[in-house]
């Protein structure tokens, strides 16, 4: 008995030791990873080497057993090299280092990350060849290495990754044949564009474009005979072709009936990783687009719930007839650009359908519908959203919008950020939907548009008055969405409450904050924990209100970028808030006593409804 007790005690000590060693090894791996970059970067300010595990560090997400499953360091101004120490994070599923200035080679050790699903290294300065070892990543679904200076051939090993759904190797210096077998068979030229030294097949190779040696003797005579025979056969076909075509046309004439030839003959056409559905499939899935399957409607069209033959649920956006005028090529280009925007907080485009009379987009069905539905149309069987869930939704939606602005090429401006377009998955994680439909724009410059698209209460003045939109248009909409999240009210209703006090929403909420009267704004379902003084909740709610105020400033240049909003939600707001307070004091002293009445003139309440119609 004593021996068994000693053995059990030894086993317990061994397990405790193992549990202590695993996180420490991950801390050491991350410290080695960090050592490759220039010091002093704020992204690493919380990376404390003495911590028992890295799960409390910024930009690090842990899963079961406190193992790191995600590193999110996109657009963090990192410079230096990617160290191979990262391979020790064996539970890592997502490595996101896009939009930095990382140089050097991509470590071949990345091929040892057996759990990796997303590898985003685009918009950096990587050089050298793509490691052949990346083909060992059997679980990889998203691989984006575009906009670097990578050279050499595209490794054939990548074609063996069966789960690969998103691939972008464009804008590099790659060379050689572009593979078309295996998983690469689903990808279109856009995934490999702007690599001047690549070619689609061996016949396009420069080595095959040089002149052939001139044959002599019998071989020359044979060649001449072959050419003559070919010419004769060609002439015969030339004369016969019109007769054959006429006979074919005459035979079909009595049965002249229009149908989409491409759709009927190729029901499984793929655009990149997208599936092309037939119209018949979607009609069957929605019971011929019956009203019972109608989920909603907006400026772009109606949305239907559907069920495919395999039992999976989908949401189908049937675009309005005025969108059908878009040419097929333009529509497909827009669809492909939207499909390349893949992020855990963005609604994934699953497929499309295109006929001469229809344009439809297919998405996964979201069982929990939208944030608007959960805030204001909650069923008796559903609990109101608690505060931790709302805080999680605020951060997730900010990450999604930030990715649209800074992670996509070309950049995508949403133009209608609101609670109705923040969808909720089965875990109530935020998923931003309806992006890319208004127009694909390059975020590097502002853009003048001919028609205002958006929703009352969510549109900034520079967009309403001048039609000028930029990424700051979305920042404003996000700020109003935060007010919706905190209050449970629609943006339109908030405008009405603010107008009762002759002010804009921004000024009204700012006054409530200064007078410590936020309970007027806060959702009644949250008042108990707000007034009850639950630890940290009151401060967190005030933090979200402050961020919303920064986002809804009248001056577009003064609003923060969405990546800055993400940082404020993760790290705190003190520095940004203090700077804005100082600026506000200076402006007030310069303006004197102007303007509560002027502020009312900035309100959108007096504009006609048709000016504000737009997508949902």
Q: Are residues 413 and 296 in the same domain?
A: no
In-domain check, residue 115: yes
Instruction: Single out the residue in 316, 337, 364 at which a domain terminates.
Output: 364
Do 138 and 58 fall into the same domain?
yes
Say yes or no: 184 and 150 in one domain. yes
Residues 121 and 31 occupy one common structural domain:
yes
Peptide bond into 163 cis (omega under 30): no
Catalytic residues: 416
Both 405 and 352 in one domain: the answer is no
- Whose tokens are 């911590």? That residue is 51
| SS3 assignment, position 33 | helix
Six token digits for residue 428:
């109530």
Residue 533 marked ligand-binding: no
How far is CA 341 from each of CA 264, 291, 446, rounded to the nearest angstrom?
A: 29, 31, 21
pLDDT in tens, 19-29: 433 445 888 88
For residue 377, is it within any domain?
Answer: yes
Residues 489 and 419 in one domain: yes
Q: Which residues pair with 91 in a beta bridge?
A: none
The CATH number of whichever domain residue 281 belongs to comes to 3.30.200.20
Last residue of a domain, one of 313, 338, 364: 364
3-state class of 146 per DSSP? coil
* pLDDT at 302 (0 to 100): 87
Instruction: Quote the CA–CA distance of 169 and 150 in Å, as a whole number.
Output: 9
Tokens of 571: 């790290």
Q: Is 243 a domain residue?
A: no
Q: Examine residue 492 and state whether it is found in any structural domain, yes or no.
A: yes
297 is in an annotated binding site: yes
Inter-CA distances, 408 with 20, 148, 338, Å: 40, 14, 9
Burial of 256 (0-12, 13-18, 19+ CB in 10 A): exposed
Same domain, 109 and 30: yes
- Looking at 319, 348, 364, the residue that finishes a domain is 364
Which residues in the chain come in under a pLDDT of 70? 1-24, 201-273, 299, 321-327, 379-380, 438-458, 462-467, 533, 535, 573-616
Structure tokens at 65: 């057993």
Domain membership of residue 245 (yes or no) is no
CB contact at 8 A, 354 and 332: yes
Q: Is 317 found in the same domain as 416?
A: no
Annotated binding residue 301? yes
What integer pLDDT is reported at residue 394 of this predicted model? Answer: 95
| Domain hosting residue 147, numbered range | 18-199
Q: What 8-state DSSP symbol labels residue 612?
A: G
| 428/313 same-domain check | no
In a domain, 350, yes or no: yes
Which tokens is 274 given? 């997208």
| Residue 351 and residue 376 share a domain | no
Per-residue pLDDT, 551 = 92
Instruction: Name the domain count of the chain.
Output: 3
Q: Is 300 marked as a binding-site residue?
A: yes
Cα 72 off chain centre by: 14
With respect to residue 235, please indicate whether it lies within any of the assigned structural domains: no
Q: Please give the structure tokens belonging to residue 29.
A: 């791996």
Report whether 296 belongs to an annotated binding site: yes
299 is in an annotated binding site: yes
Tell me: is residue 303 an annotated ligand-binding position. Answer: yes
Here the CATH number for the domain that contains residue 68 is: 3.80.10.10
Sign for the CA dihedral angle at 105, 194, 124, 169 comes to negative
To the question of whether residue 253 is assigned a binding role by annotation, the answer is no
Kindly report the CA angle at 48 between 44 and 52, in degrees rounded to 5?
135
- The DSSP call for residue 46 is T
0.75 exceeded by pTM: no
Q: What is the pLDDT of residue 47?
A: 87
Domain assignment present for 572: yes
Encode pLDDT of 119-174 as tens digits: 999 889 999 999 999 999 999 988 989 989 999 999 999 999 988 888 889 889 99
């Amino acid at each position: 008995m004593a021996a068994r007790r000693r053995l059990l005690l030894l086993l317990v000590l061994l397990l405790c030791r193992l549990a202590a060693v695993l996180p420490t090894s991950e801390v050491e791996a991350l410290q080695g990873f960090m050592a490759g970059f220039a010091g002093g970067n704020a992204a690493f300010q919380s990376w404390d080497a003495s911590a028992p595990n890295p799960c409390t560090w910024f930009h690090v997400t842990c899963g079961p057993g406190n193992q790191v499953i995600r590193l999110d360091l996109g657009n963090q101004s990192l410079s230096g090299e990617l160290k191979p120490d990262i391979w020790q994070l064996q539970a890592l599923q997502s490595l996101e280092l896009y939009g930095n200035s990382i140089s050097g080679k991509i470590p071949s050790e990345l091929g040892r990350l057996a759990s990796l699903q997303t590898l985003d290294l685009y918009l950096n300065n990587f050089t050298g060849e793509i490691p052949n070892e990346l083909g060992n990543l059997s679980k990889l679904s998203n691989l984006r290495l575009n906009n670097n200076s990578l050279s050499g051939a595209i490794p054939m090993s990548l074609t063996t990754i069966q789960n690969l759904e998103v691939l972008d190797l464009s804008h590099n210096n790659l060379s050689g044949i572009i593979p078309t077998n295996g998983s690469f068979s689903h990808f279109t030229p856009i995934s490999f564009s702007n690599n001047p030294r690549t070619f689609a097949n061996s016949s396009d190779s420069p080595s095959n474009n040089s002149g052939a040696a001139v044959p002599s003797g019998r071989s020359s005579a044979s060649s001449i005979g072959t050419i003559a025979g070919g010419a004769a056969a060609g002439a015969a076909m030339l004369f016969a072709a019109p007769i054959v075509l006429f006979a074919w046309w005459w035979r079909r004439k009595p049965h002249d009936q229009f149908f989409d030839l491409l759709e009927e003959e190729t029901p499984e056409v793929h655009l990149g990783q997208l599936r092309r559905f037939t119209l018949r499939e979607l009609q069957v899935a929605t019971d011929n687009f019956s009203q019972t399957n109608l989920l909603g409607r907006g400026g772009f069209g109606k949305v239907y719930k559907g069920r495919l033959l395999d039992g999976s649920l989908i949401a189908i956006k049937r675009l309005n007839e005025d969108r059908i005028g878009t040419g097929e090529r333009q529509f497909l280009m827009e669809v492909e650009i939207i499909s390349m925007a893949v992020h855990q907080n963005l609604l994934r485009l699953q497929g499309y359908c295109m006929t001469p009379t229809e344009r439809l987009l297919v998405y996964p069905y979201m069982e929990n519908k939208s944030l608007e539905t959960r805030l204001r149309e909650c069923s008796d069987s559903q609990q109101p959203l608690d505060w931790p869930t709302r805080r999680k939704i605020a951060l997730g939606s900010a990450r999604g919008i930030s990715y649209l602005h800074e992670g996509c090429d070309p950049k995508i401006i949403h133009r209608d950020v609101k609670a109705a377009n923040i969808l909720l998955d089965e875990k109530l994680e935020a998923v931003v939907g309806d992006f890319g439909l208004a127009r694909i724009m390059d975020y590097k410059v502002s853009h003048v548009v001919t028609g205002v698209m958006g929703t009352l209460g969510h549109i900034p003045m520079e967009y309403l008055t001048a039609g000028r939109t930029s990424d700051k248009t979305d920042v404003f909409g996000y700020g109003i969405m935060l007010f919706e999240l905190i209050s449970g009210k629609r943006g339109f209703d908030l405008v009405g409450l603010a107008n009762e006090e002759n002010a804009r929403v921004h000024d009204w909420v700012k006054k409530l904050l200064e007078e410590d009267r936020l309970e007027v704004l806060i959702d009644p379902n949250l008042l108990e924990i707000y007034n009850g003084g639950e630890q940290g909740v009151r401060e967190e709610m005030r933090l979200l209100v402050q961020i919303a105020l920064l986002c809804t400033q009248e001056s577009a240049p003064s609003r923060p970028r969405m990546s800055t909003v993400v940082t404020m939600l993760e790290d705190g707001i003190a520095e940004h808030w203090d700077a804005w307070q100082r600026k506000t004091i200076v402006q007030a002293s310069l303006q004197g006593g102007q303007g509560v009445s002027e502020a009312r003139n900035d309100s959108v309440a007096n504009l006609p409804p048709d000016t504000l119609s737009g997508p949902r």
